[in-house]
Each structure stands twice: as C-alpha cells, then as structure tokens.
C-alpha cells in the first residue's frame, strides 16, 4: 500500500511523456518530411552516377560527385588538377562572408549601442526601425540596392553631378556589389542580437569603470565589449551563415559571372546537369555552416557559464 | 558651454548609427519613389504618376502570383502555427526528458541549414515524388513552407509559455477544472497573443520566401517573389517598383501589427 | 480502513500518515519530507512553520494534489486521497503568487471553481456576490485582475478559494507579498474569515510572529520533519528542541546536570553554580547533562547575587524594552529583556557585576 502513490506517480509521468511525444509529432513529421529527410536523400545522391539530363542513375554508385568538388580531370589526357573554378568560388564565398560580417559589425555595433542608450520610450521606435527592414522581403531589399548602385543609379548620378567622376563607376555585377548587397541585407541580423545583449548591460559597471580611472576607450574595450560578447558572437554567426549560403543577392547583384557557393550549387541542378556534384557541394556548404555553428554553441555555453555572475 | 560627462557616450557612435539608419532606408525610399515615376526609366524622374500601379494591377501574371503567395502563406502559416503550438506545449515547462534535445534540434533545424541546401534537397525529392504520383499542385510548396515556418511560429509561443505562471494551471486544477478544461479555459486564452504573433511571423516568412519556392515550384507556380526574381533578369520598368512597393506595404503592415500586439501583451 | 482520528476531542479533517516525498533519483535525490505524520482537526487554524526548504510547502502541495507522495497516505475525512488529482479533491488553495487568472475579471475568477463543479447559473451568481460581499469587493467585480492592488488581489484569491466551500483551505505564504501594515490587517481578516466560515485552514509561513498570532496550533518543521506540534504558547514557552527554541524568538541556553525529577519538573544543577527547577516535554525523562532554555523576558537582572551571576557586556535600548547582554561566570552569554517605563533607570552600567533571577516556571529542558 505504501508503494501505491509512487506507482501512480510513475504511471502519470510515463503518460505525460507519451502525450508530449504525441503533441510534438506533427511538427517533427513535417520537418522530417520537408527538411531533414531530403538532406539524407541528397547525401545518397552525392554518391551516385550523374544522369545525362540531370538527375542520377539509381543504384549506380560513384565518387565522381565528391571528386569533382575539389578536382577536375582533363578531358583529353585524364590528368587530375585542382578544380580552380570551384575553389575560387569557395574562396570568394568565405572571403565575402567574412568581410560582410566585419562590415556589419563596424556599422552595427555603434548602432546597437546607440539604440540601447536611448531613453526607454524612444528606444522602442529605434528597434522598430531596425525590425522593419529585417522583415522586409530580402529580394526587394536586394532590388533596392541594385537601383542605387546601377550605372544610372543614385550613386553614380550624384558623383557625376558633383564632378567627382566623368564616367559612371561599374559597381553592379562586381564583387563589390555582392558585398554592398549582403551588408545591406544582413545588417539587421547583426544589430538585433547586439542590441539584445546591450540592453541588459548594467551601466553601473560602466560608471564603476570610469570611477576607477578608465577612459572612454578603455571602458569600451575592457568593460562593454566583454559584457556584450555573447550578442557579438550571435550577431556574427547570424550574418556569416546566411552570407555563406547566399543565393539571391549574388544572383541579382553579381550577375552570372561572380558566383557564390549558392549559385554554383544551383548551376549543377540547372545548366550543369550534374546533380551528384551539386549534392556534394551542398553538403560541403552545410558542413562549413555546422562547424561555424559548433563554434558558436561552444562559445555561447562558455560565456553562459561565466557570465551573469 | 560646459558639457557634463555622459557615461553612456562613446565618440562617433551616434554618427555611425545615424549613417546606418540612412543607409538602411535610403535604397528602399528610392525604390518606392520611382514606383511613382511617370516615365519608363528608373533613372530619370519624369513626374508623379500611378500608372505603374495600374499596370501591375492589370497584369494577370502579377495578380495570379500574388494570390498564390497569399494562399500558400495562409495554409503554411496555419499548419505551422498549429504544429508549432503543439510542439511548444510538448517541449516547455518540463523536466528534461529523453528526446527533448532531439526535439529542439529538429524544430530549429530549418534555421540552421542554408536555404539553398534545403531547396536543392527538396528539388531532388519532390521531382521524384512528382514523377511517382503525377501530382504537381501547390501541396509541395505548402508542405515546404510549413516546415521552415515552424521554428518561427514556435518561438513566440514557446516564449509565452515559458513566461506563464505555472501556478495558474495549478490554480485551475485546484478549482476542479479537468486537464482539458484547464487547457481550454486558462492555457489557450493566455497563449493566444503568442499564437497570433507566431502566425504572423510564419505568414511573413512564407510570403517572403524566394529560394525554396524557386526550386520547389512546378511550371506556372510563380509566387510574387519568384515572379519578381524572374523580372529582374529582363529590362526593368517601374512596374517592378510598384509591385515591390505594394509588397513592402503589406510586410510593414503585418510587422507593425505584430510589434503592437507584442508590446501590448509584454 | 483507517479509524477516524481525534485531536483535542475534535474530528480530524486532514491526516498525513507516514508521508515521505523524494524529489529526483540517485545522488540528486532530495528528501523533502521524511516520514511525516500529523493530524489537523476540523475547524482548526493550523500553521506549518519553518524556514524555506523545510518541506512545509511540499506538504501543502501533497494535500492539494499537485505532487504525489513517495510513500504514505493522505486522509481527508478518513479517506485516502493521495492518488486523486487536484481537481477531484474538495480542497482549495490560496497561492503565494495568488495565481489570479489575468484574462478573467475579479468576478469570473471567483466563479471559476463553481463553474467547473457544474453548479447552476443562479447559484453561482448568488455565491459570487456573497463572497465579494464577504471580502468587501463588490465594486471591483468587473475589474481585470491586473488593475487591482496587492491587498485586493489577496482578497480575490481568498474569495476564489473559499467560493466552492472546500472542506480544507490551504494557504501558501499568502501574506508574504504584502507590506507590513497590510499584512497585519490581513492577519486579522484571515482569522475572522476562518471563524465565520468554519473551514479548516492550513497555513504555511516562515514568519514566526504570523504563526504565533494567528494559529490554533503550530507545527514547526525543519529538514523534512515536524519537530513539534502545539499551541503557540506551548511552542514559545516550552520548545522541545533547540531548533524550535532558536527559530522562534530569542533564547538563552544554560548547561547543567539533572539532580532529580519530581512531579513533571527536573531539578538541575547549573554549570555556573546554582540550581533551578525546569519543566520538560511529555514523553521524556531528563537525566545527566542537559541544556535548558530561558526566554530573555522570563529572566530579571538584579543587583547582587541571584540564580545566575555575570558581568554586563552591553545595554541596548529598544524603545519598549531594554536588552542587557551579560557574560556568565562560565563564559556563556545570557541576555535579559526588561520592560521600559518612563521613570525607571537601570541601576547598573556596562562592566558591572549583576545577578540574574530566572522566573519560577521559566526554564525548559531540551530534548536532545
């Protein structure tokens, strides 16, 4: 009789876990069917033989897809060389993403700080002003940037009118255009997490810093920066990852030639008709993203353990 | 004039912030302004006119794409919100149990994989399924959109649940409400702002999607964003600006509503 | 079938029988309640008193049905309810945070329990009106619960819990969020409410003063066990254990050896010299080395020799009384509390040697 309540409690607990699985089933199934599962199919595709008109030959396996990510075989003498075209696109993607991250940081950090130091009632308005572009269609924002940097766009027209230049500067369809576009499009993703951690910043700590003879820069470097580091890391990750996988922005602003990884992947599923290579490239991109995320998770858990003391 | 020392001031930060805001809004402003241009060019201002809005409104392709966008967003947001609300109920306010981390990882998975990767993976799977089943309707798009909308709908519902006082449901149970009645009368009404917010987020996210839609859609299934993407390859007239402006207005409207709902219930 | 138990000739409303509650398992296991047995009489104002983490709230939650006991039985009117869910128990709770439903009005909060019980519309309306009147909240019936003050929220929580006329009302530190003055008011109000409704109140608090002023009986808890159950007077004047003596009020301790026991009193030879007679609690026979407790206000400081003697270390003025801190000859500290009056002046100062008279029935032998 004494065990009876405990038994009832354990049964109740088990029933609760079961109902929790039932409740989460629809979300889990949808995501498995339309997001996670296809990734496994793609993994399988990456090791199959390419079909002549796209697709693959089922059941015929080949390492050709993965081989082609990094190497190429000369059509005439079968010599193997590095796939320079691919590697340069990898390199461009990583380089542009890093520069984008740093640029958004340079613009975003002071902006987030500015918002966080406004009086409470106006602060909401500033946050709102950041949120609006964040939720505005990415394609529209890219298109807006295109209009600004076109040869006949505002920038060139203005510079010509001022007599700074005679001929319009070709910005569109260069790496610069992609960079401008990505900075413009991903800037809110940097500001919002930075703001979130700055909003919680205890300015009595800043006062304590000044009290202990720190100058403005010392306070920024020794007190503010370490305290908002979680937001800084989160913002950087939130900008870096979509930059790396960017597709729309380089397609619209980079034209056909200045490809990034996303466009290279699309090419394999379109004109390239090399699905195994496209699948292998996709997985490679995903792995790079996962590594970046892992770095973030480790960083976040570490700062979580030491922070909020 | 003597300036008092301001502990919050950092040299140059305010200037950079203002520059940032100008940079954020200037391109959008230009885009909107040229939507009202009388002329056909995006370079010269030839006077105010609504002709491009009229043109967009009379363009069947635009109307169909817009309608399709709304239909997909409505279905996807509804399904995603229901699934996400159930998942949020299943994953909050509990001790850790086996599989909880797995659930978190699954629900947030669409946020962690680059869109282009999911897009081509879906292309691979759905193109095969289309061959097998012969069905090539909007179902694929709705399913794909539902999946990536779930984490967005999940976020505000979960936040709302975690901030909810557990004692409220205890109190209801104490006052003779069965678990179902407690849910109907207490939990659900209190959750409602989070659910509405989740639905709106999901709706906007679905409406905005380009990449996944571009790869999953069958022929003649353009949504407004993929239609615009197609147009950008051609000679652009201010009609695109007009479409973008209308789209923008809709997004701003939803986000504003979201902002106020969230603030009011904070 | 458990027999109906009686406490002080009253029928028992709630009984906890050998209740243990363990949270978690393995090395993280926490024994919140350890073989607790207690009976609470009908129409009693019963208080569970103890520091945070002593298990008092856990015991309350077990009675309400929010937790299941690991072992043991909870009897309500003689029936074991340990496995019933909360919505099947005729027991209502006033929560520490009040837990008022924020989306419902004051009246809707009060009627909630009645609606869930499926009472007819007319009866619900009449009962809600009655409860609001009892709480003097008629004007606030249609207010939202976030538009009322803390004191009013407290009353709504009480009205909501009392409306279904439960057999037992559980109150989980309901006054802790109120400021001092309001708390005093509500203490009286709660007493009045309990007397008027005749419902058994089980009240949880960590505030000893609250426990002493409001309760018929108090159970002092520590580390998952009930150490002593008794009337406030018993608990204060005759603490059975050091923890109880410490937790409630201020206390002096005296070491000594029992010389003999006679008629419920022990003759104790103090370590400082001198003998006093001390009472002890039922069920024990003091012998050998013991510790006595003496409340500071039950002793008197005098000039010259007395039961105890020592040197004045400090004299602290408190308005209503004065605390005289002394160091006894064996090196232990002893404090005497003396009532002030406008013309009385203490005839000694810091450093003086004084005597201390321990009152007739002032010392109690601790169970150790």
Hey, where are the domains in chain B? 59-264
Contact C164 B175 (CB under 8 A): yes
Q: How confident is the prediction for chain C on average, in pLDDT?
A: 89
% helix, strand, coil for chain B, step of 5: 75, 0, 25
Distance between CA atoms of residues A3 and C68, nearest Å:
11
Question: What is the per-residue pLDDT for C193?
Answer: 87
From chain C, pick out residues whose CB is under 8 angstroms from the CB of A8: 68, 82-83
Question: What is the per-residue pLDDT for B158?
Answer: 93
Distance between CA atoms of residues B266 and B260, nearest Å:
10
Q: Tell me the pLDDT tens digit for each residue of B37-52.
A: 888 877 778 888 899 9
Distance between CA atoms of residues C156 and C109, nearest Å:
8
Dmax (CA) of chain B:
80
From chain C, pick out residues whose CB is under 8 angstroms from the CB of A6: 68-71
Contact C99 B181 (CB under 8 A): no
Residues of chain B with pLDDT under 50: 1, 266
Cα–Cα distances in angstroms (integers) from residue B201 to residues A67, A230, B93, C15, in the given order: 41, 25, 23, 53
Tokens of A156: 């060139």
Hey, where are the domains in chain A? 84-306
Question: What is the per-residue pLDDT for C287?
Answer: 84
How many residues appear in chain C?
Answer: 368
Q: How far is B98 from chain A (nearest CA, A)?
A: 9
Question: What is the per-residue pLDDT for B266?
Answer: 45
| Domain C6-237, CATH among 3.40.50.300, 3.40.50.800, 3.20.20.70, 3.40.50.9100 | 3.40.50.300
Tokens of B262: 């969230």
Contact B173 C87 (CB under 8 A): yes
Could you tell me which of C26, C17, C37 has the C-alpha nearest to residue C79?
C17
Average pLDDT over residues C205-212: 92
Q: Which residues contact A294 (CB under 8 A, 6 or more apart)?
A: none
CB C277 within 8 A of CB C363: yes
Question: What is the per-residue pLDDT for B150?
Answer: 97
Question: What is the per-residue pLDDT for C306?
Answer: 83
CATH code at B59-264: 1.10.3720.10
Q: For residue C117, give the nearest of B168, B176, B185 by CB distance.
A: B176
Distance between CA atoms of residues C192 and C202, nearest Å:
15
**Could you tell me which chain B residue has the CA closest to the CA of C159?**
B175
The sign one gets for the Cα dihedral C209, C210, C215, C220 is: negative
Whether chain A has a CB inside 8 Å of the CB on C72: the answer is yes
In chain C, list all ranges with CATH 3.40.50.300. Answer: 6-237
From chain C, pick out residues whose CB is under 8 angstroms from the CB of B265: none
Question: What is the per-residue pLDDT for B1?
Answer: 47
Distance between CA atoms of residues C193 and C201, nearest Å:
10
Distance between CA atoms of residues A95 and A144, nearest Å:
24
Residues from A contacting C (CB-CB < 8 Å) are 1-6, 8-9, 12
In chain C, list all ranges with CATH 2.40.50.140. Answer: 253-365
Q: Tell me the pLDDT tens digit for each residue of C70-91.
A: 889 999 988 888 888 899 999 9
ipTM computed for the complex: 0.91
Alpha helices, DSSP H only, in chain C?
56-64, 106-116, 121-134, 150-162, 180-197, 208-214, 232-237, 242-247
From chain B, pick out residues whose CB is under 8 angstroms from the CB of C112: 172, 175, 177, 185
Question: What is the per-residue pLDDT for A155?
Answer: 85
CATH code at C253-365: 2.40.50.140
**Could you tell me which chain A residue has the CA closest to the CA of B6?**
A207
Q: For residue A24, give the nearest of B14, B90, B116 by CB distance.
A: B90
Q: Looking at A77-91, A137-151, C107-121, C292-306, which range is the least confident one? A: A77-91
Q: For residue A8, give the nearest of C18, C68, C73 by CB distance.
A: C68
Could you tell me which of C14, C55, C49, C48 has the C-alpha nearest to residue C32?
C55
Tokens of C226: 């009930």
CA C285 to chain centre: 27
The residue assigned the tokens 């989460």 is A24
| Domain A84-306, CATH among 3.40.50.300, 1.10.645.10, 1.10.3720.10, 1.10.10.10 | 1.10.3720.10
When pLDDT is cut at 50, 70 and 90, the band that residue C264 belongs to is confident
Show pLDDT as tens, one digit a residue, over chain A (309 residues): 445 666 777 787 888 889 999 999 999 999 999 999 999 999 999 999 888 877 888 888 888 888 888 888 777 777 887 778 888 999 999 999 999 999 999 999 999 999 999 998 899 899 999 988 888 889 999 999 998 898 888 888 888 888 888 888 888 899 999 999 999 999 999 999 999 999 988 888 888 888 888 888 888 889 899 989 889 998 999 999 999 999 999 999 988 788 899 999 999 998 888 999 999 999 999 999 999 888 877 876 665 443 333
Chains contacting chain B through 3 or more C-beta pairs under 8 A: A, C
């Amino acid at each position: 009789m004494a065990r009876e309540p405990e038994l009832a409690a354990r049964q109740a607990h088990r029933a609760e876990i079961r109902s929790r699985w039932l409740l989460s089933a629809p979300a889990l199934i949808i995501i498995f069917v339309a997001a996670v599962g296809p990734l496994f199919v793609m993994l399988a595709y990456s090791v199959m033989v390419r079909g002549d008109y796209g697709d693959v030959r089922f059941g015929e396996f080949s390492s050709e897809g993965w081989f082609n990510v990094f190497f190429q075989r000369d059509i005439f003498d079968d010599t193997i060389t590095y796939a320079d075209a691919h590697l340069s696109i990898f390199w461009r993607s990583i380089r542009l993403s890093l520069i984008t991250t740093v640029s958004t940081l340079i613009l975003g950090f002071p902006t987030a700080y500015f918002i966080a130091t406004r009086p409470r009632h106006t602060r909401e308005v500033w946050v709102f002003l950041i949120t609006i572009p964040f939720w505005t269609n990415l394609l529209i924002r890219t298109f807006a940037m295109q209009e600004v940097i076109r040869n006949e766009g505002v920038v060139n027209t203005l510079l010509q009118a001022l007599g700074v230049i005679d001929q319009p500067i070709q910005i569109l369809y260069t790496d610069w255009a992609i960079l401008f576009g990505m900075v413009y499009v991903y800037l809110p993703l940097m500001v919002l997490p930075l703001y979130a951690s700055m909003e919680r910043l205890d300015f009595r700590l800043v006062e304590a810093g000044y009290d202990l003879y720190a100058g403005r820069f010392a306070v920024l470097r020794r007190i503010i920066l370490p305290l908002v580091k979680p937001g800084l890391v989160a913002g950087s990750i939130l900008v870096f990852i979509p930059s790396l996988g960017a597709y729309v922005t380089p397609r619209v602003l980079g034209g056909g030639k200045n490809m990034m990884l996303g466009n290279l992947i699309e090419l394999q599923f379109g004109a390239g008709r090399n699905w195994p290579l496209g699948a292998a490239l996709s997985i490679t991109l995903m792995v790079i993203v996962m590594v970046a995320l892992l770095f973030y998770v480790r960083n976040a858990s570490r700062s979580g353990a030491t922070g909020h003391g | 004039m003597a300036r008092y020392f301001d502990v919050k001031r950092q040299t140059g930060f305010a200037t950079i912030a203002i520059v940032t805001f100008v940079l954020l809004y200037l391109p959008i402003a230009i885009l909107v302004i040229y939507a009202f241009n009388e002329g056909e060019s995006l370079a010269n201002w030839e006077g105010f006119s609504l002709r491009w809005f009229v043109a967009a409104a009379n363009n069947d392709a635009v109307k169909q794409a817009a309608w399709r966008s709304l239909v997909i967003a409505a279905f996807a947001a509804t399904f995603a919100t229901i699934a996400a609300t159930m998942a949020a109920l299943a994953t909050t306010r509990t001790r850790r149990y086996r599989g909880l981390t797995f659930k978190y990882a699954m629900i947030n998975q669409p946020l962690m994989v680059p869109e282009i990767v999911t897009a081509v993976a879906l292309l691979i799977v759905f193109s095969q399924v289309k061959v097998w089943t012969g069905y090539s309707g909007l179902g694929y798009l709705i399913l794909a959109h539902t999946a990536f909308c779930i984490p967005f709908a999940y976020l505000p519902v979960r936040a709302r649940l975690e901030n909810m006082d557990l004692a409220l449901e205890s109190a209801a149970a104490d006052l003779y409400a069965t678990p179902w009645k407690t849910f109907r009368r207490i939990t659900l009404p209190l959750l409602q702002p989070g659910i509405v917010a989740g639905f709106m987020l999901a709706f906007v996210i679905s409406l905005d999607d380009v990449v996944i839609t571009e790869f999953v859609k069958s022929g003649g299934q353009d949504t407004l964003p993929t239609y615009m993407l197609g147009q950008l390859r051609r000679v652009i007239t201010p009609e695109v600006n007009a479409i973008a402006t209308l789209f923008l207005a809709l997004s701003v409207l939803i986000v504003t509503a979201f902002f106020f709902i969230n603030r009011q219930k904070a | 079938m458990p027999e109906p138990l009686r406490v002080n000739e009253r029928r028992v409303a709630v009984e906890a029988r050998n209740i243990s509650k363990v949270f978690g398992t393995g090395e993280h296991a926490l024994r919140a309640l350890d073989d607790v047995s207690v009976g609470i009489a009908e129409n009693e104002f019963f208080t569970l008193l103890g520091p945070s983490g002593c298990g008092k709230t856990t015991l309350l939650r077990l009675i309400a049905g929010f937790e299941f006991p690991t072992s043991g039985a909870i009897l309500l009117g003689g029936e074991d309810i340990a496995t019933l869910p909360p919505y099947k128990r005729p027991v209502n709770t006033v929560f520490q945070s009040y837990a008022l439903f924020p989306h419902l009005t004051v009246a809707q909060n009060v009627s909630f329990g009645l609606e869930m019980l499926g009472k007819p519309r007319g009866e619900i309306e009449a009962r809600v009106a009655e409860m609001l009147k009892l709480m003097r909240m008629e004007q606030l019936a249609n207010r939202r619960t976030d538009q009322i003050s803390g004191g009013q929220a407290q009353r709504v929580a009480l009205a909501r819990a009392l409306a279904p006329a439960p057999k037992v009302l559980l109150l989980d530190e309901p006054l802790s969020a109120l400021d001092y003055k309001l708390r005093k008011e509500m203490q009286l109000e709660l007493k009045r409410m309990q007397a008027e409704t005749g419902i058994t109140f089980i009240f949880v608090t960590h505030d000893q003063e609250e426990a002493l002023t409001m309760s018929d009986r108090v159970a002092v808890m520590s580390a998952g066990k009930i150490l002593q159950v008794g009337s406030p007077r018993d608990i204060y004047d005759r603490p059975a254990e050091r923890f109880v003596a410490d937790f409630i009020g201020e206390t002096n301790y005296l070491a000594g050896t029992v010389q003999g026991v006679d008629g419920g009193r022990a003759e104790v030879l103090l370590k400082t010299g001198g003998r006093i007679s001390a009472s002890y609690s039922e069920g024990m026979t003091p012998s050998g080395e013991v510790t006595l407790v003496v409340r500071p206000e039950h002793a008197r400081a005098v000039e010259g020799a007395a039961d105890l003697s020592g040197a004045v270390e400090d004299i602290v003025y408190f308005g209503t009384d004065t605390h005289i801190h002394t160091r006894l000859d064996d090196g232990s500290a002893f404090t005497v509390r003396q009532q002030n009056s406008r013309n009385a002046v203490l005839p000694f100062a810091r450093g003086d040697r004084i005597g201390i008279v321990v009152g007739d029935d002032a010392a109690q032998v601790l169970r150790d």
